[in-house]
Amino acid sequence: MRNYKMILFDLDGTLSDPKIGITKSVQYSLQKMSILEKDLTKLESFIGPPLQDSFSKEYGFNDVEVNRAIAFYRERFVEKGMFENQLYSGIQQLLGRLKNENKTVVVATSKPTPFAEQICTFFNIDQYFDMIVGSNLDGSRISKTEIIKYAMDQYPEYANDQFLMIGDRKHDVIGAHNNQISSIGVTFGYGTYEELSEYAPTAIVHSVGELEDCLLAGAREFK
């Protein structure tokens, strides 16, 4: 692949597997909203997209209900959910290699920035990132398009063709397309090959090892 200078990573489903923390926090929120959901696998759709979108799409909540549901979600997530999480094997080594190659590495996540910062500190990977960009706690800047745009605006000295977005869901690829930058879809998270390929990322990889090869081993393309 092209020798990109600016590497943007999604967090959930790309750097780490947050299934337990997110789904249990959604389950807790739904219970507070008088909805009982025992099967956590049904809540995996909440991993990746903004919570506002997921509560509205999956449960038909109006704006007031969405705000209540998010407040309940954060009660549990802040206390324990964000730490019910684990890095994908090989991610820390990949980040270290990227920094050794003098890449600028940024987190670009729909998760609120303070939560993303705490998670990266918890895993001791904050040292690898030049910036952590997420949504705002007030519900603004939640779309991946806006988040990527904000990150890019912090580095005006670089042209679009120097940026690369890496993520596991269609929102990451769509956000990259909307900002006219390249993207890599990863299937080891929560987006399927079918979901990612529909939106034509620059490449699709199936493991952290393939991602490392794609980023650091020259021109090989993965599909």
Catalytic residue among 10, 12, 17, 172: 10
Cα separation, 100 vs 35, in Å, equals 48
Element containing residue 195 per DSSP (H, E): helix 193-197
Q: Is 163 helix (H, G, I), strand (E, B) or coil?
A: strand
Element containing residue 87 per DSSP (H, E): strand 86-87
10 has catalytic annotation: yes
Element containing residue 186 per DSSP (H, E): strand 182-186
- Name residue, tokens 């596991």: 168
Structure tokens at 74: 């954060």
Provide the 10 A C-beta neighbour count for residue 73: 23
Which residues are the active-site residues? 10
